[in-house]
Amino acid sequence: MDIQLSKEELVIINKVAEAAAGLNRETYLVGGFVRDKILNRRTTDADFVCVGDALELAQLTAAKFSPAPSVEYFKNFGTAHIKINKQFDLEFVGARKESYSRNSRKPDVEPGTVADDQNRRDFTINAMAISLNKNDFGKLIDPFNGIQDLNDKIIRTPLEPVQTFSDDPLRMLRAIRFATQLGFTIEPGTWQGIVDTADRISIISQERITDELNKIIAAAKPSLGFDLLYKSGLLHIIFPKMTELAGAEYIDGYGHKDNFYHTLQVLDNLAEKSDDLWLRWAAILHDIAKPATKKFEDGHGWTFHGHEAVGGRMVPKIFAKLKLPQNEKMRFVKKMVEMHLRPIGLTKENITDSAIRRLLFDAGEDFESLMMLCEADITSKNKQKVKRFLENFQFVRMRCKDVEEKDHIRNWQPPITGEIIMQTFGLSPSKPVGMIKDAVKDAMLDGFIPNEFDAAYQFMLVKGKELGFTPL
């Protein structure tokens, strides 16, 4: 088998082989490492299967390194892990036969041969093994012709698809994820198996589902995966809100675009410019409230008024349901959804500096992300239109650059803090403190005062007096 291994990988694999020989234990490299090496993809995880006790093999392998890494053992799964140089993850498992009970992911496991172990794997391209045994070291053992499927770019289950998917329904998402990441096609029988087994995805934990979803989103062309998720029926189960975007309605000859495919196009456009998973989530969710805000106005057509604000409010709930983080990542996505129409409003000719300052202030450090999202949101098929819209955004960018150079708004910290206001007027924390603070901020953004401490301080005094307070 002609695969390229780095020096470090060779050293590691030789140590495993030596340990296996020392224990006289049949051992193989299997799964994703073999697949990725043949495809020449970067990988840092290597899985080893041995016939017998995997913990002992892991311990003897670890002892061959200096200093010896610790061995972590997961009794429930019968797997032992070693991390080498904080970089390589080695997993050892005893070859097994297993079948899964109908309503859980918990397998009934019995020891087995390497052939049994290959049978229970998800796809032919993941079921290849490379021998680490003395008599046939380096030999590829490929009972399901995975190498052919790799060459033909095909995802196929080794056994009956429905059995493979029933054993672990997450594999349906994995099939779509691999197809998306590798640009492979799912073999028709395997595809039918997914369609027939789709509802079994409900027994899988949200964390595992979301993990796969994130891998699809992180791929070069995520729309491939979402299209398959939609057509298989899986998306209706794992993320029904997104399927509500699909379809176009017509009344009196007025139609609107299919917002599901529009969203996928935005996602792909964005993926060409940014690897940021959370900005990609913002693309997925930017129009999520269109179904909820859709209205038909006589003589005017379809409107989606307020979908950005309603959509922003939906983000925390969707994140909670999908077990995505409830932290600044979520707040970033919410902010992007809420703001995604703002730059379009500034593409007209006579836009004031004040409006530009407000955009810079509200977008803050996320300004560039917001502009990328807006540019990705242009999905017209009309090349002239696309060109014109992009030029408009270029114009907004230029205005923003000029105003930013002049006024330094983006990382602006209010020069007048609540502390200063309270000390000046002898106030305790209360509503008027916030009102004065906002008034100073608005005066600065509206250009009544320059972005300087002295001017802001004077304005604060005036505003405080207006509200009936006297400086101490």
Using CB under 6 A, list all residues that contact ligand CTP.
31-32, 45, 47, 121-122, 126, 168, 170-171, 174
Closest-approach residue to ligand CTP (CB): 32
> Nearest approach, Cβ of 170 to ligand CTP (angstroms)?
5
| Nearest residue (CB) to ligand CTP, 46 versus 445 | 46
| Nearest residue (CB) to ligand CTP, 117 versus 377 | 117
Say if CB 17 and CB 26 are below 8 A apart.
no
> Nearest approach, Cβ of 18 to ligand CTP (angstroms)?
24
Say if CB 318 and CB 292 are below 8 A apart.
no
How far is the C-alpha of 39 from the C-alpha of 34, rounded, in Å?
Answer: 9
How far is the C-alpha of 261 from the C-alpha of 64, rounded, in Å?
Answer: 54
> Nearest approach, Cβ of 169 to ligand CTP (angstroms)?
9
DSSP state string for 33-75: HHHHHHHT----EEEEEESS-HHHHHHHHHHTSSSPPPEEEET
| Nearest residue (CB) to ligand CTP, 57 versus 346 | 57
> Nearest approach, Cβ of 285 to ligand CTP (angstroms)?
25
How far is the C-alpha of 184 from the C-alpha of 35, rounded, in Å?
Answer: 13
> Nearest approach, Cβ of 82 to ligand CTP (angstroms)?
15
| Nearest residue (CB) to ligand CTP, 111 versus 291 | 111
| Nearest residue (CB) to ligand CTP, 150 versus 170 | 170
Q: Parallel, antiparallel, or unpaired: how do β-strands 154-155 and 140-141 relate?
A: unpaired
Q: Parallel, antiparallel, or unpaired: how do β-strands 254-255 and 45-50 relate?
A: unpaired
Sorted by sequence, the CB contacts under 8 Å of residue 39 that are 6+ apart come out as: 150, 182
> Nearest approach, Cβ of 292 to ligand CTP (angstroms)?
35
* Residue 314 CA to its chain's centroid (Å): 18
How far is the C-alpha of 17 from the C-alpha of 90, rounded, in Å?
Answer: 13
| Nearest residue (CB) to ligand CTP, 165 versus 367 | 165
